[in-house]
Amino acid sequence: MNGRIAILGAGALGQLWAGYLPDGKVAFIPRPGSSGGPGKAALEYTLERFDGVTIPVTVPWLTSPADSPSLLLVTTKAGDTLSALETLVPELSPDTPIVLFQNGMGSQQSVAERWPQRPVLAASTTEGANRPEPGHTVHAGRGQTWVGALTDSAKPVLEPVVRALATSGLAIHPATDIHQRLWDKLVINAGINAFTAILNCRNGDILGNGFYQQHIDDLCREIAAVLSAEGCQPLTPATIRERIEGVARSTAKNTSSMLSDRQQGRTTEIDFINGYIAHRGQAHGIDVPVNQMLTEQVQQLSADAKAGTP
Residues that bind ligand KPL (CB under 6 A): 103, 188-189, 192-193, 203, 247, 251, 254, 256-257
Neighbours of 300 (CB within 10 A): 12
Nearby residues of 245 by Cβ (< 8 Å), 6 or more positions away: 207
Of the pair 140, 158, the CB lying nearest ligand KPL is at 140
Of the pair 70, 76, the CB lying nearest ligand KPL is at 76
Q: Which residue intervals of 230-273 are DSSP H helices?
A: 237-250, 257-263
- Three-class SS of residue 25? coil
What are the C-alpha distances in Å from 216 to residues 28, 192, 199? Answer: 40, 10, 14
Neighbours of 87 (CB within 10 A): 11
Q: C-beta of 44: minimal distance to ligand KPL in Å?
A: 26
Q: C-beta of 239: minimal distance to ligand KPL in Å?
A: 17
DSSP string across 156-203: GGHHHHHHHHHTT-S-EEE-S-HHHHHHHHHHHHHHHHHHHHHHT--G
Of the pair 130, 168, the CB lying nearest ligand KPL is at 130
Q: C-beta of 86: minimal distance to ligand KPL in Å?
A: 25
Of the pair 125, 151, the CB lying nearest ligand KPL is at 125
Of the pair 282, 299, the CB lying nearest ligand KPL is at 299
Which residues are known to be catalytic?
A: 185
For residues 239-277, one letter each, b for 16 or more C-beta atoms within 10 angstroms of the residue's C-beta and e for the rest, the string is ebbebbbebbeebeebbbbbbbbbeeebebbbbbbbbbb
Of the pair 188, 235, the CB lying nearest ligand KPL is at 188
Q: How far apart are CA 278 and CA 285, in angstroms?
A: 10
DSSP annotation of 61 reads B
Q: How far apart are CA 163 and CA 167, in angstroms?
A: 7
For residues 16-50, one letter each, b for 16 or more C-beta atoms within 10 angstroms of the residue's C-beta and e for the rest, the string is bbbbbbeeebbbbbbbeeeeeebeeeebebebbbb
Helix axes 289-307, 178-199, angle to 10 degrees: 60
Q: C-beta of 263: minimal distance to ligand KPL in Å?
A: 12
Q: C-beta of 187: minimal distance to ligand KPL in Å?
A: 11
Q: C-beta of 204: minimal distance to ligand KPL in Å?
A: 10
